[in-house]
Homo-oligomer: A and B are copies of this chain.
Amino acid sequence: MTASREIHLVRRPQGMSRPEDFAVVERPVADPREGEILVQNLLMSVDPYMRPRFNADQALGEALIGGGIGRVIGSHNVKFAVGDVVRHGAGMRERFVSDGRGVSIIRPDPDLPLSVHMHALGGTGLTAYGGLLEVGRLKDGEQVFVSTAGGAVGSVAAQIAKIKGCYVVGSTGSDDKAAWLRDVAGLDAVINYKTEPLREALTAATPKGVDVYFENVGGAHLDAALTRMNPHGRIPVCGMISTYNGGGEGVRNLFLLIYGRIDMQGFVASDFGHLNAAFVSDMTTWLKDGRIKYQETVLDGFERAPEGLIGLFEGRNAGKMIIRVAE
């Protein structure tokens, strides 16, 4: 028997989340029984998708849903050994017992920080890799446009395209992110869609048109991109953040798909299991070579998760927001 702290939602936020919406609660953790493991959380992910759930399926008085990386510190399950580093979706808990379902062993590279498994070497990286290379069928040297290129997926997609010798334009919503994309990630052109007229800026930035549009936004972004697509272009659809649930502006330029023979295809990261080995190999190399850059905002201390959540929703993070629970 041990103890574990958990982050609880204690009331549903009205508008922006506030510190009083959360509580750090200590709970006993039973010893693992036959078939079970005990996991020490090391890193917890703080993600935008969490906010809407605070007013939906996130239970009050229970650990917040979420994923992270932990270390097995006790095992009665033959598939896991003490010391294994694992990826899990077990929520915001310092330590937890699991029967192993939803827990997968990862083999961290000793020359890379463990945290990269939360983004570039994790699900968001695989999403970018599979979406661009498999769904988007990217060819070396093509013309690429990535929307929300400052985001976790977009920033990796844009940099993979650069590695493949492409001309890459990204859109983002802040000057800070635009500067990072231009000066650090090395994109060829960056559009701040909040301060520039998107369609005109995209036209100016893509003199050779667009072969692959990595779609994260929908709505006006998609309409603008459709006007720039080259024949036989591809639009892998990773997200449509402006139009979820039918909201936002309707898309009016889809007729341009026809004569352009454009292929627009939705996908999710779980489609890419067959690519994982190639992805881990490529991405490990690229990260070690410094060819994939990333930003992280790491808060030290389990109890700082509410601060991380609030900061994320307020946009105070640069890159991936991570809570470090233990070394």
Q: A258 to B266, alpha carbons, bound, how many Å?
A: 4
* Distance between A319 CB and nearest chain B CB, rounded to angstroms: 24
Among A222, A240, A249, A264, the one with the most B-chain Cβ atoms within 10 Å of its Cβ is A264
Are B268 and A265 in contact, with the CB atoms below 8 A?
no
Are B264 and A257 in contact, with the CB atoms below 8 A?
yes
Give every chain B residue within 8 A of A244 (Cβ-Cβ): 255
* Distance between A200 CB and nearest chain B CB, rounded to angstroms: 16
Are A265 and B262 in contact, with the CB atoms below 8 A?
yes
A263 contacts chain B at the CB level, 8 A cutoff = yes
Q: A261 to B272, alpha carbons, bound, how many Å?
A: 12
* Distance between A6 CB and nearest chain B CB, rounded to angstroms: 30
Are A258 and B243 in contact, with the CB atoms below 8 A?
no
Are A245 and B255 in contact, with the CB atoms below 8 A?
yes
A49 contacts chain B at the CB level, 8 A cutoff = no
Question: Given A257-B266, A265-B264, A243–B237 Cβ distance below 8 Å?
Answer: no
* Distance between A262 CB and nearest chain B CB, rounded to angstroms: 5
A252 contacts chain B at the CB level, 8 A cutoff = yes
Give every chain B residue within 8 A of A249 (Cβ-Cβ): 250
Instruction: Give the total of A residues in contact with B, Cβ under 8 Å.
Output: 33
Residues of A266-286 at the interface with B, using a CB-CB cut-off of 8 Å, are 266-268, 271
Q: A19 to B66, alpha carbons, bound, how many Å?
A: 72
Give every chain B residue within 8 A of A261 (Cβ-Cβ): 265-268, 271
Are A268 and B258 in contact, with the CB atoms below 8 A?
yes
Q: A237 to B256, alpha carbons, bound, how many Å?
A: 10
A253 contacts chain B at the CB level, 8 A cutoff = yes
Are A259 and B254 in contact, with the CB atoms below 8 A?
no
* Distance between A230 CB and nearest chain B CB, rounded to angstroms: 13
Q: A265 to B244, alpha carbons, bound, how many Å?
A: 21
Are B266 and A262 in contact, with the CB atoms below 8 A?
yes
A227-261 to B contact mask, C-beta < 8 Å, 1/0: 00000000001111001111111111111111111
* Distance between A307 CB and nearest chain B CB, rounded to angstroms: 31
Among A251, A263, A266, the one with the most B-chain Cβ atoms within 10 Å of its Cβ is A266
Q: A253 to B219, alpha carbons, bound, how many Å?
A: 10
The residue on B at minimum CB distance from A267 is B261
The residue on B at minimum CB distance from A264 is B264
A218 contacts chain B at the CB level, 8 A cutoff = yes
Are A255 and B267 in contact, with the CB atoms below 8 A?
no
* Distance between A171 CB and nearest chain B CB, rounded to angstroms: 18
Give every chain B residue within 8 A of A240 (Cβ-Cβ): 254-255, 257-258
Give every chain B residue within 8 A of A265 (Cβ-Cβ): 257, 261-265
Q: A265 to B262, alpha carbons, bound, how many Å?
A: 6
9 inter-chain pairs at a CB distance below 8 angstroms, sorted by A residue, are: A222-B254, A237-B257, A237-B258, A243-B255, A246-B253, A250-B250, A257-B265, A261-B267, A261-B271
Additional 16 contacts, C-beta under 8 A, given A244-B255, A261-B267: A237-B257, A243-B254, A245-B255, A246-B253, A247-B252, A248-B252, A250-B250, A250-B251, A251-B251, A258-B268, A261-B266, A261-B271, A262-B266, A263-B264, A263-B266, A265-B265
